[in-house]
A and B are shown apart, each in its own frame.
Chain A
C-alpha cells in the first residue's frame, strides 16, 4: 500500500502510515500535543491522559489511538485546554511538588506543562503524601512523593536497559513505584547512573546525587521557552535546541 492516508488535526491535513497513532502522526507533522507519560522512544502507555484529543468527536488519548483515515482530530480547543489543566492540577496535588526547592525546576515537564497551560494553582485539596524516600543508592535518589506514575523509568529499565529495576505496586491512590530487589531498596538493584531509566524521568523523582544545578536556574530547557515550543525532546536526552 503506497497511497498515504490522511487525517486532519485542527484543520491541518496530516498524512499517516498504517499503524501510526495520532501522536505519531502529529510528531511527524511537527504538531505539538501536550503529554507527560509519552516518549516516542518507548512503547506508548496512555496513563497520564494529558494527550487526550477529540477524534471524530470522541475523547481519546492520542499516544495510544491509531489513526483512522479521514479522522477529524481536535487538539487545541478551550475545552481540552481546561481539561488538560485539570489533569496537571491532579498530578500536582497528588504529590509534593515544591518547585522552588526542586533540583529539576526548569527541566521539569510537569512544571513546564503547568506554565504552558497557564495553571497558577488549584482549589482542590493537596494530598500531601508521605511515601518512602529511597536514598540508599550511592549515586541515585528516588523521591516517590514527586513520582507521577508515568512508568517511563519502568519501560526504559525493562525495554532498553534490560534490568527491570522498576515496577508499579499498590492500587488506586496507593499505587506507587517500587524497586525490584530483595530489600525493595535501590542499593540492592542493578541501577546505574548511565541507565536509560535515569534519563527519562519527566519530573524530579529520580535524581543523580551530588550533581545538582549543573545548569543554573534561568538557563534550563523550559526556563525561557514553553514546552510546546521545545517539542518532544527531553532535557536529558537532547540539546536545548528547538526541533
Chain B
C-alpha cells in the first residue's frame, strides 16, 4: 500500500474541489491532467479520484486524459473508459460552462422540479439535456441529491443549491448570463439547512473533540469492546449487522494492516440524515472512526463521500486538519506512542450501487463499482485485500456515544433487537420535512404525528429499495424486526398517485443497476419499460403478470441487494394499491401479444429514454 499523506493530498485536492476556486478562466488541459495526477502522486488506485479532479476543473474528461492516464498510471485504456462510462458525473463531452443537474427523486417531482427545469430552460433559452449552442449552460437531471427536505434542488458544477424559488431561479439565471464564476456567486445561494425537528441523544450532543477518545486511557480496550457489545448497536446503513461483531471479527484477523471505512455514500432516495450529521457532527464521526481504528488496530481510514455532497468536502478537510493539530488524528494521537491513524477522503461520482459496501471498496480502489462476490466479506478481505470495517456515518457517531456513555446507557433506548435511536430523513407531504431522531420501536404513525403527515395514504420507508406502507399499517414499528430502515421516510398524501412513485423508482433502478448480473440488469430495464407502457395507457392485465414475474426473478436471483430489492416497492404497490395500475390498463382482458401500435409506442419510449 502506498504511504498516505492525507493532509497534503487534501490540501492539493482543494484547489480543484473548493467552490471558491471555481474560476471561469479556461484551464490548460494537459497542465490540469498533470496537476490532478500529481495530487495523488500518480497512484493508479486513485485513478477515479484523478478523473474527478479533471472533470471538476475542465467540466469534462478530454480524450487527452485517456491517453495520458493510460501511459502515466500504467493502466489499460479500457480501464479509464470503463470508469467514465460507469460514473454518471464523469462526462466525455463538455456540456457547458455551467452544468445544472436537478434532483429527480419522486419527492423532487412532487415539489415541482419539472416546473423549475422548464423555467430555467425558458429563461436561459436552452432545451433540457442539450448543451446551449454557445457552450454556456446545460440543464439535466440526477438521482436524489440528498436535499429532499428543501427541494427542488440542483447541483451546479457539482455544488448543491436547494430551495429553488422563482426568486432564486432568476438570480441563478442572471449570474449565468453574466458569466460570473461560481467562486463569486453569493454565499447565501449555497447555504444548506439542517432542518432538525426532533433531537435525542445523538443530535442534541455537542461535537466530540476527544471526550470519547479519552476513554482509551481510562479503560482497557477489552472493556470498551464489551461496552460496544452490551450496547447491541447495529449498523445504521440499513442491513443492521451487529457492530461489535464486525469490529471483533476484523480485530481477530491475522493481517497486520487493517482499514476503517466510513460509508458516506448516502444514495438511497429520500435519505439525507448523513448529510446533516456531516454538517453538524463531523467531529463525532471522525472520533468514532478513530476509536474503531484503535480498537481494531488500523492506521488507515477512508471517508467515501458521495459526489452530491461535494460542498461538504472543504469543511471536512478543515475538520480533519484541525483534529490533526489537536492531536486527535495523525501521528501519536493523544500523545500515545503507537497510535497512528489518518483519513483519506474519496469522492463518489454518481453511482448508487457504491453504497453497497463491497462496490464501495471497488470504487475506493479506483475501479467500477461492481459489488464483489461474497464471501470473503470486507471484514476479512476488503480494501486491497486487507481486513476492513465499513460502517455508516450514523454508526460511527453512535459508537462514539457508546464509548463515552457506556453500552447500557445506549441500550436503554429502543427495543430488544433494535437498540438506541434512529435518525429519519422525512420528506414529501408533511408540514415539517427534515430530520427526526426517535428511539427504535416508534411506529410509523408516531413519526407522522411528529412531522405533521397524519393524513398520508402511504409512506415509503427505507428509500426506493425499502417498504411501501399503506395507511392501514401505520401502526407498524420502525425497527429491524418490523419495518427496517436506513433512514429514508417519504410521505405521500391522498392526492398523490402511487403509480408515479413506482414509475420514478423503476427509472431510478434502471439507471442505477450496475449491469453485472442478468436478472438485475435486464429486469430493471424491462420493468421500467412495462411501467412506461402502462403509463401511456397501453398496458394489459398480462403486463401486470409480467411485472410480477420479473420482480420474482430479480429479487431471488440477483447478486446483490440492489437487484434483490429493486422491485420491493412495486411489489408492495401491486398488493396494496392495485387500482393505480388497473385504472391505466387499456383493457381488462388479455390482449394480443403483438400489437403494432403498442410496439411503436414502446420503441418510441425506448428511444426517448436513451
Enumerate chain A interface residues (CB-CB to B < 8 A): 44-50, 52, 59, 61, 64, 66, 83, 86-87, 90-91, 93-94, 123-125, 127, 148-149, 164, 166-175, 178-182, 184
- B556 close to A59 (CB less than 8 A): yes
User: With A91-B522, A170-B86 given, is the CB distance from A175 to B515 under 8 Å?
Assistant: yes
- A172 close to B521 (CB less than 8 A): yes
Task: Please measure, in the bound complex, the distance between the C-alpha atom of A44 and the C-alpha atom of B523, giving whole angstroms.
Answer: 23
Q: Which of B518, B552, B557 contacts A91 (CB 8 A)?
A: B518
Q: Which residues does chain A contribute within 8 Å of B521, judged by CB atoms?
A: 94, 149, 172-173, 175
Q: Which of B67, B550, B559, B602 contacts A61 (CB 8 A)?
A: B559
Q: Which residues does chain B contribute within 8 Å of A64, judged by CB atoms?
A: 373
> Whole-angstrom distance from the CB of A46 to the nearest CB of chain B?
5
Enumerate chain B interface residues (CB-CB to A < 8 A): 67, 76-79, 81-82, 85-86, 88, 351, 368, 373, 375, 510-519, 521-526, 529-530, 542, 546, 549-550, 552-553, 556-559, 593, 602, 606
Task: Please measure, in the bound complex, the distance between the C-alpha atom of A229 and the C-alpha atom of B593, giving whole angstroms.
Answer: 34
Q: Which residues does chain B contribute within 8 Å of A123, judged by CB atoms?
A: 542, 546, 593
Task: Please measure, in the bound complex, the distance between the C-alpha atom of A3 and the C-alpha atom of B284, giving whole angstroms.
Answer: 50
Q: Which residues does chain A contribute within 8 Å of B557, judged by CB atoms?
A: 49, 52, 59, 83, 86-87
Task: Please measure, in the bound complex, the distance between the C-alpha atom of A59 and the C-alpha atom of B517, giving whole angstroms.
Answer: 14
> Whole-angstrom distance from the CB of B349 to the nearest CB of chain A?
11
Q: Which 10 A-B pairs have the closest CB atoms?
A: A175-B515, A167-B78, A90-B522, A180-B78, A172-B513, A173-B525, A169-B85, A64-B373, A169-B82, A86-B553
Task: Please measure, in the bound complex, the distance between the C-alpha atom of A166 and the C-alpha atom of B116, giving whole angstroms.
Answer: 43
Task: Please measure, in the bound complex, the distance between the C-alpha atom of A48 and the C-alpha atom of B516, giving whole angstroms.
Answer: 8
Give the total number of A-B pairs whose CB atoms are below 8 A apart.
Answer: 129
- B515 close to A174 (CB less than 8 A): yes
Task: Please measure, in the bound complex, the distance between the C-alpha atom of A148 and the C-alpha atom of B593, giving whole angstroms.
Answer: 26
- A87 close to B553 (CB less than 8 A): yes
B81, B524, B550: most-surrounded residue (chain A CB, <10 A): B81
Q: Offer 15 A-B interface pairs, CB within 8 angstroms, sorted by A.
A: A44-B373, A46-B373, A47-B559, A49-B557, A83-B556, A90-B522, A93-B526, A94-B521, A125-B529, A149-B518, A164-B76, A167-B76, A168-B368, A172-B515, A178-B78
> Whole-angstrom distance from the CB of A158 to the nearest CB of chain B?
9
B523, B526, B529: most-surrounded residue (chain A CB, <10 A): B526
Q: Return the chain A residue nearest B66 by Cβ.
A: A182
- B518 close to A124 (CB less than 8 A): no
User: With A125-B529, A167-B79, A178-B82 given, is the CB distance from A47 to B518 under 8 Å?
Assistant: yes
Task: Please measure, in the bound complex, the distance between the C-alpha atom of A127 and the C-alpha atom of B279, giving whole angstroms.
Answer: 44
Task: Please measure, in the bound complex, the distance between the C-alpha atom of A83 and the C-alpha atom of B519, giving whole angstroms.
Answer: 10
New contact pairs (10) apart from A90-B553, A167-B78, A173-B525, CB-CB < 8 Å:
A49-B558, A83-B552, A94-B521, A125-B526, A164-B78, A171-B85, A171-B515, A172-B514, A172-B521, A173-B513
Q: Which of B512, B529, B546, B552 contacts A172 (CB 8 A)?
A: B512
